[in-house]
């Protein structure tokens, strides 16, 4: 399996609220346990030699949720950022993708600090998608490209797939090879819709994110290794 590892995994961390509801707990309790699972799986991917991992932490649509739940998620983000320095010894480079302008100044400053502190790490490249939406990302890229055309720094006839990819949040990274989504949902939910054009998809019915373990990650990697990826060829 080591020779057939995906270079880039996209992970939709789904099912926190349902996990809590099944136990008679508030939804925010599911997010707390889910955050612990996130740390375990990031370490597991780093240990296995995965090059890139992008996790869906908070979408542009998640603002529609109850304010108490949103506040709990933002607190978890803030707490993670405040302790990000503890993970430097693990040799993981951390970046945040999405429209970060909506967050308060403290969070934005902490994001800059975390990214700067880990920029020279050579292990796993971890992307945390917050206030992220695939359509929003593509729209942002198109606007930037249009501005360059208007300014005369780019010609319209130069625009192709690579130019678009170079203006996404994931510019310079390999395309996604594998999307994993636990919780029984069978959709991308606006996650990495450009980058995952040729990704393999693995949906898991019998597990919610807080219970996701290295065993489930291994099962997904083994399934990925069995897939015949032809990329439109024969």
**Dist CA 135 CA 131 (whole Å):** 12
Q: Is residue 189 marked as binding?
A: yes
The pair of structure tokens assigned to 193 is: 């819709």
Q: Is residue 49 marked as binding?
A: no
Q: Is residue 17 marked as binding?
A: yes
Q: Is residue 14 marked as binding?
A: yes
Q: Which of 3, 62, 131, 166 is catalytic?
A: 62
Angle between helices 27-48 and 214-226 (to 10 degrees): 50
Q: Is residue 152 marked as binding?
A: no
Q: Is residue 108 marked as binding?
A: no
Residue 177 bears catalytic tag: no
Q: Is residue 63 marked as binding?
A: yes
Q: Is residue 183 marked as binding?
A: no
Q: Is residue 194 marked as binding?
A: no
The pair of structure tokens assigned to 14 is: 């789904």
Nearest-Å Rg of the Cα atoms of the chain is 18
Q: Is residue 178 marked as binding?
A: no
Beta strands in the chain (DSSP E): 8-12, 52-59, 93-97, 125-132, 178-182, 200-204
Q: What φ, ψ does residue 93 adopt, rounded to 5°?
A: -90, 125
Q: Which of 3, 14, 46, 71 is catalytic?
A: 14
* Residue 213 to residues 1, 145, 234, Cα–Cα distance (Å): 18, 41, 35
Q: Is residue 18 marked as binding?
A: yes
* Residue 129 near residue 191, CB atoms below 8 Å: yes
Residue 46 bears catalytic tag: no
Residues annotated within the binding site are 14-19, 27, 31, 59-61, 63, 65, 181, 187-189, 200
> Which sequence positions are flagged as catalytic?
14, 62
The annotated binding site for substrate is made up of: 15-19, 27, 31, 59-61, 63, 65, 181, 187-189
Binding residues for Mg(2+): 14, 200
């Amino acid at each position: 399996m080591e020779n057939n590892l995906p270079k880039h995994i996209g992970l939709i961390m789904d099912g926190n609220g349902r996990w809590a509801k099944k136990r008679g707990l508030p939804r925010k309790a599911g997010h707390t346990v889910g955050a612990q699972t996130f740390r375990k799986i990031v370490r597991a991917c780093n240990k296995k030699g995965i090059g890139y991992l992008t996790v869906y932490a908070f979408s542009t649509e998640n603002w529609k949720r109850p304010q108490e739940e949103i506040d709990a998620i933002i607190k978890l983000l803030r707490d993670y950022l405040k302790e990000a320095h503890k993970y430097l010894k693990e040799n993981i480079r951390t970046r945040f993708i999405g429209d970060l302008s909506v967050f308060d100044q403290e969070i934005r400053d902490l994001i800059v600090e975390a990214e700067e502190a880990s920029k020279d790490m050579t292990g796993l490249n971890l992307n945390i998608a917050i206030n992220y939406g695939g359509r929003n990302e593509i729209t942002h890229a198109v606007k930037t490209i249009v501005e360059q055309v208007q300014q005369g720094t780019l010609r319209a006839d130069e625009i192709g797939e690579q130019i678009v990819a170079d203006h996404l949040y994931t510019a310079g990274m390999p395309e996604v090879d594998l999307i994993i989504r636990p919780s029984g949902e069978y959709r991308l939910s606006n996650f990495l819709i450009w980058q995952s054009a040729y990704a393999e998809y693995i949906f898991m019915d019998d597990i919610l994110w807080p219970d996701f373990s290295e065993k489930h990650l291994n099962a997904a990697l083994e399934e990925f290794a069995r897939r015949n990826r032809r990329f439109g060829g024969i």
